[in-house]
Each structure stands twice: as C-alpha cells, then as structure tokens.
Amino acid sequence: YRAKASGRNCYQFYTDDMNTANLGELLLEQQLRGALDRGELRLHYQPKVDARNLTLRGCEALIRWQHPEQGLLSPDRFIPVAEESGLIVPIGKWVIYEACRQIRAWIDAGLEPVPVAVNLSSQQFTQQDLVALVREALDQYQLPPHLLELELTETMLMRDVGRTIDTLAALSAMGVSLAIDDFGT
C-alpha cells in the first residue's frame, strides 16, 4: 500500500514503523465509526469577508473531530481515514444537515443569513443521490437554496462527466450555489 501511495511502479521495504502506523490508523478508523453517533464531530465556520468594505459575504463549514483522548483533530488527521473506509459518505451527509441546521439557528436568532459553503467528497458525489439529499436538508430546515454553496474539486467533476453534468444542472436549477475548489482556491 505504501508503494501504491508513492505513485506505484516502485517498491517499499517493510519496517516495524509501518505496522505501528497501520495499527494507529485502524484504531482511528474504529473510533471514527462511532464519532458521529457520539456527537464528537463539530463544524467551525470560517468567515468569508469582502476585503474592499470588510462585509461578511459568507462562511465555510470546516469539520473538526473532538476526539475524547486526542483533543480537537483537524480534517487532515481523519478525513483520509474516512475516505478510505467509506465513512466519508455518512459524515458528508451530516455536514450538509448540520450546516443547514446552523443557518436556520442564525435566522431564528434574528441574524442576517449568509451562504455557507460545504466541501463535498468525491465518494459523496458519486455514491449518494446528492440532489435528493440537499433538497431534503433544505426542506427540513426551510431554507432558501442560495444559502447553501457546495464546493467541488476539478478531479471530482471529471470522473463521470455525464452524471456530473446532470447532478450539477439539477443542483443549479434548485438554486444551490456551486464552486470549484482546488489547490486552496
């Protein structure tokens, strides 16, 4: 697996560190399996500010894991494990619903709502009926679609072009904002 991760067409020598790392990842995966049910996942909201007049234009939902032993974990620590294990699909669903719940809470508190951007994983895009999922979340929290922005990567969009175009067209027709997010842009 390390040879594959290194770009294939190469070889790697086994070391004891590999076994330790694999056991650590396996343990993390087992702990991540219950994190959603235990309410350990959190969304933090990073503001998007217009630099010209310093007005709030939106925010981006950033996932964190409040691990019971390791503290607050950033996504680079657990998202690869979630993608490898398939847990990214239920986690991604939770993120969409949680972002919509938070938008509704802001509206109910009398705050001016701003669009919230949510990153999608490629597995979520291909393994779920994304259009139905987004529609259900928006309906449940009675939100206008323009308050949700979905961020996709270029590589995600190129996998099944026909299906991708249909999905993006349906989301766009619904009024959901779409953004291409690659290399931090």
pLDDT tens for 7-43 read 667 766 665 554 444 545 777 888 898 898 899 999 9
The alpha carbon dihedral of 70, 72, 98, 164 has a sign of: negative
Strands 55-67 and 71-73: antiparallel
Looking at residues 77-105, what average pLDDT do you find?
94
Neighbours of 18 (CB within 10 A): 13
Q: Is residue 160 scored above 90 in pLDDT?
A: no
